[in-house]
Amino acid sequence: MAEGIELVSAMITRYAVVESLYLLEESSLKAQLTDRITKLYVSILRYLSIAKTYYDKST
């Protein structure tokens, strides 16, 4: 579980860079990229919620 949290942390950082590079300018793919990144962040939040529940039960 801890490795997953580390991976998620790296993904958040990586996609923050992707956002700053590709979402500031208008492009034909901006809407698709925004949608995919939003779905990724939703998945990350779900995972972190599960991880929190797991660690709350473990202590």
DSSP secondary structure string for all residues of 1-59? -HHHHHHHHHHHHHHHHHHHHHSSS--TTHHHHHHHHHHHHHHHHHHHHHHHHHHHHH-
Q: What is the residue extent of each domain of the chain?
A: 2-58
Residue 41 pLDDT? 97
Contact 37, 19 (CB under 8 A): yes
Residue 26 pLDDT? 87
Indicate the pLDDT class of residue 1, thresholds 50, 70 and 90.
confident
Using the predicted structure, report yes or no on whether residue 2 has a pLDDT greater than 90: no
Of 21, 14, 20, 22, nearest to 40 by C-alpha is: 14
pTM for this model (two decimals): 0.82
